[in-house]
């Protein structure tokens, strides 16, 4: 009797295990009764809209994964932060808890969950523009790229590629920005990132946090004076239609990070891991090239639309670097010299 009872319990446990494996994402394609392979669909979260240059990376990754796994994996892309109902930080949390399978978020937003990534957003961290970025982020095995991978992977996800949102520029309806004095009491929308709030306060501005989806209307109605974002984000949201001035100052660089949840990654075979890594790297490289090729074109579009564009001088940048120096000291105490050194910055 006891043996029959034990056998019954074991059968029930095995049945529950099989049923449990059938829900959600899986690491291996399943076979139907007819022997056909059933593809595993991966949900991919992307922050901006379908018109954003971010979608170059998302679409290329989807194509490569589906081709190279011969359909064993498919990817469904959800733009506009659909999976998190517009909440970017929640979107990042969904990657780490395995609700989302593949994710494309800005390092700035990921820093809400992985604080040390805030270092990348430090003002004027990359003094030589894209040359500095390429050296510390886009060179294979570079200190910066390894820093990003280790920080994200410590939270349980796996980085397959680093793309580019670009350098963040400033727009406003008050005046051209040529010196720190021009920032005085300028009401600027910034993301809900403490670092950027600290930077704009140091510059004398009035940083205001609000969801990006509300920015166009807030600018149109005069509730805020300006905002800061990379060229393509400004363009895709049509911010230039409600702004008079844009200052090119390259004050903050914003990479985007493509990651696979640990729930998926840890179940992949070594062969599939290699496919995912290669697909992510190639997709992001394609996106970076496309993003940079668009910069000059977008600037000209803004000018043609009536936006007055000026470039902050080297003297103006040097002045502002001095003004925000206390912000560096604050975050040095929080993250340590090693984090800054990964991106080529050393304290005197």
Domain of residue 296 covers 35-335
For residue 227, being part of any structural domain is answered with: yes
Q: Positive or negative CA dihedral for 42, 95, 265, 30?
A: negative
Residue 16: inside a domain: no
pTM over 0.95: no
Tell me, what CATH number does 174's domain have? 3.40.190.170
Domain count, the chain: 1
Locus of tokens 């954003």: 52
Tell me, yes or no, whether 24 lies in a domain. Answer: no
pLDDT tens sequence for the chain (348 residues)? 333 333 443 444 333 333 333 334 444 555 545 556 689 999 999 998 898 999 999 999 999 999 999 999 999 999 999 999 988 899 999 999 999 999 999 999 999 999 999 999 999 999 999 999 999 999 989 999 999 999 999 999 999 999 999 999 999 999 999 999 999 999 999 988 999 999 999 999 999 998 888 999 999 999 999 999 999 999 989 999 999 999 999 999 999 999 999 999 999 999 999 999 999 999 999 999 999 999 999 999 999 999 999 999 999 999 999 999 999 999 999 999 999 999 999 998
In a domain, 348, yes or no: no
5 within a domain of the structure (yes/no): no
| 1 is a domain residue | no
Does a structural domain hold residue 315?
Answer: yes
Residue 11 lies in a domain: no
């Amino acid at each position: 009797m006891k043996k029959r009872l034990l056998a019954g319990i074991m059968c029930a446990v095995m049945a529950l295990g099989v049923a449990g494996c059938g829900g959600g994402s899986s690491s291996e394609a399943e076979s139907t009764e007819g022997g056909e392979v059933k593809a595993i669909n991966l949900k991919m979260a992307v922050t901006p809209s379908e018109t954003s240059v971010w979608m170059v990376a998302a679409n290329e990754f989807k194509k490569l994964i589906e081709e190279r796994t011969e359909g064993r994996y498919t990817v469904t892309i959800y733009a506009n932060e659909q999976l998190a109902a517009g909440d970017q930080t929640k979107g990042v949390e969904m990657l780490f808890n395995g609700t989302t399978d593949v994710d494309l978020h800005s390092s700035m937003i990921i820093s809400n969950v992985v604080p040390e990534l805030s270092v990348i957003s430090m003002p004027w961290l990359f003094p030589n523009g894209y040359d500095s970025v390429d050296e510390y982020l886009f060179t294979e095995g570079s200190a910066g790229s390894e820093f990003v991978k280790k920080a994200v992977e410590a939270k349980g996800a796996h980085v397959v590629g680093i793309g580019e949102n670009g350098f963040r520029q400033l727009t406003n309806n008050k005046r051209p920005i040529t010196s720190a004095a021009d920032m005085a009491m300028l009401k600027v929308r910034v993301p809900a990132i403490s670092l950027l709030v600290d930077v704009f306060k140091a510059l004398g501005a009035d940083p205001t946090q609000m969801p990006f989806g509300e920015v166009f209307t807030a600018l149109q109605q005069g509730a805020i004076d300006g905002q800061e974002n990379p060229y393509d984000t400004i363009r895709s949201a049509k911010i230039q239609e409600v702004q008079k001035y844009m200052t090119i100052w390259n004050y903050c660089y914003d990479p985007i990070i493509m990651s696979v949840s640990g729930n998926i990654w840890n179940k992949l075979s070594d062969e599939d891991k290699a496919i995912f890594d290669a697909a992510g790297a190639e997709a992001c490289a394609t996106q970076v090239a496309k993003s940079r090729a668009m910069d000059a074109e977008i600037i000209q579009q803004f000018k043609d639309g009536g936006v007055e564009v000026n470039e902050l001088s080297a003297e103006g940048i040097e002045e502002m670097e001095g003004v925000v120096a206390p912000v560096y000291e604050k975050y040095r105490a929080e993250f340590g010299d090693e984090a800054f050194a990964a991106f080529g910055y050393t304290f005197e």
